Structure 1
Amino acid sequence: MTTAPQCVSNLQLACLPSAVAWARRHTRSVLTTWAIGQTTTDIAELLVSELVTNAVRATGYDDTTTVLTYTQRAQVERCSLTLQRGNGRLLIEVADSSRQPPVRRDAPEDEEHGRGLTLVERLSLRWSYYYPGPVGKVVWCEVALI
């Protein structure tokens, strides 16, 4: 019995609002290269978007109206996206420097934010988080390769 080769991709991002779009593009590009199906790619792209958005909000500069200087950009916190394919699943991990655990909440229908982890819970096989060391956390989820 043979298993599909394991593939791993890592992307480091500044925790700025633009990180979400870069993470989505990266995810689509990597999963296309790995010949992952369109449905799984669409789901993964949405999950990456939600997890990176949470990382930006937890640790980043979340003001889209201010233009940062190069010096200010160099001081912005970093987050990372890891995609890993293996054993019929796609593992998505987003690491940031916040120690605050992710909190899923039931947002009212008229509220603009607050549904990200609910989407992650519903669209993934499972999700959770862990603390890899004294600083930061990793929020992860698994998606079936269909």
Structure 2
Amino acid sequence: MNHQDTQIPVTVRVFTQRFSATPRAARLARLLAVGQLDAWDVPYGTETSDAAAVIVGELAVNAVLHARVPGRDFELRLLLQGVETLRIEVTNIRADRRPPLSPPTTPDTESGRGLTLVEALATHWGVREGPLPRKTVWAELRCGPTKRTSDPSLTHPLPLPLPNEGHQVG
């Protein structure tokens, strides 16, 4: 039997959506991400879904707060590779504003705590440049069990109201 006969094909599911660079859109990106994961059989309230929600939220907020160019969007891309790996990518057009690859560790630092969360939740994360002027901040998660870790009524995104445009994203 040759090696090619023993390989199992892996399905890669892809979701891509562009958003205006606003706090409301950052929240919408997070809500759509967990909704898409649920459609891909990664239910709301599971460890993977909850971690993905935090990571998407942090990367989208960073794109809005630190890489915003008026009139330009950011893009969210989710890639579910088989049932093992979820890759989250947020792309914006500020390649000149790279996040630090080692998030700050002191509690009095005014920014960068979101990347500390990303680093804690992701298996791997990093930054990829190009084509200029774009950059993509990405994170990968190992998909865990599909058992719910929280009350689904608290994690289901659809009935929650969206904040006003002027509110801080958190």
Shorter chain as denominator, the TM-score bin is 0.7 to 0.9
Q: CA RMSD in A?
A: 1.9
Q: 1-side partners of 2:31 and 2:111: how far apart?
A: 22
Equivalent residue runs for 1:42-121 within 5 Å: 42-60=50-68, 76-87=71-82, 88-99=84-95, 100-103=97-100, 104-106=102-104, 108-109=106-107, 113-121=111-119
Task: Tell me the amino acid that sits aligned with residue 82 of structure 1.
Answer: R
Q: 1-side partners of 2:26 and 2:50: how far apart?
A: 15
- Aligned-pair distance for 1:105? 3.4
Count the aligned residue pairs: 133
Alignment match, 1:132: 130
1:26 equivalent in alignment to 2:32: yes
Alignment match, 1:70: none
Task: Tell me the amino acid that sits aligned with residue 143 of structure 2.
Answer: L
Other structure's SS at 1:48 match = helix
Q: TM-score, normalised by structure 2?
A: 0.71
Other structure's SS at 2:30 match = helix
Percent pairwise identity? 29
Gaps of 5+ in 2: 1-6, 145-170
Alignment match, 1:71: none
- Aligned-pair distance for 1:20? 1.6
Q: TM-score, normalised by structure 1?
A: 0.82
Gaps of 5+ in 1: 62-74
Question: Radius of gyration: which is bigger?
Answer: 2
* Contact 1:59–1:77 (Cα < 8 Å) also in 2: no
Alignment match, 2:142: 144
Q: 1-side partners of 2:11 and 2:103: how far apart?
A: 37
- The Cα offsets for residues 6-31 of structure 1, whole Å up to 9 and x where unpaired, read as 10000100111112210111111100
Task: Tell me the amino acid that sits aligned with residue 81 of structure 1.
Answer: L
